[in-house]
Amino acid sequence: MRSRSEKEKMLAGESYSFRDPELVAEREKAKELLRLLNAAEEVAERQAILRKLLGGMGEASFVESPFHCTYGKNTHVGDHSYLNFSCIVLDNNEVRIGSRVMIGPAVQIYTAAHPLQVASRNRGQEVAKPVTIGDDVWIGGGAVLLPGVTVGRSAVVGAGAVVTRSVPASTVVAGNPARVIREIEH
């Protein structure tokens, strides 16, 4: 029986080594595409680079520069979505952004986390859990989404919120840690 690669472990949410040569090479490839993306001035050129970088880029979606991510290929953006300036996506596992999503400036989406044990961290071990953002979500500037969270359809995440657990659909969350502060009526 073949042992699983570090990449397979990473995408399965298991402990893996971020020092693995295959993963290092993939991160370097993403860095080069990000350098080109963040230097590009023309919309058509930027969109072409995003289609190479990301795992999926929906129709009429746009990502402002600067933009930073770890791998790119693990990030999927739906149709008519917008990521404002200075967003960071640590996409060591899948990040699924729905359609008609508005993401404010300096939002950070993390899938990667390090173990609490010093010895494991020093060996380069980490774990990555997927992040999912439903359709019609608005994430305010400076918000942080932690590994494994889901933001439900039509939810609003307040500016500066730290989302440590999943957000129910059609609610507004704010604070650190983010808490539901009201429901949205439709």
Question: Annotated active-site positions, please?
Answer: 114
Residue 177: is the preceding peptide bond cis (ω within 30°)?
Answer: yes
Beta strand spans in the chain (E): 16-17, 56-57, 62-63, 67-69, 75-77, 82-83, 87-90, 95-97, 102-103, 108-110, 112-113, 125-128, 131-133, 138-139, 144-145, 150-151, 156-157, 162-163, 171-174, 179-183
- Three-state DSSP at 107 gives coil
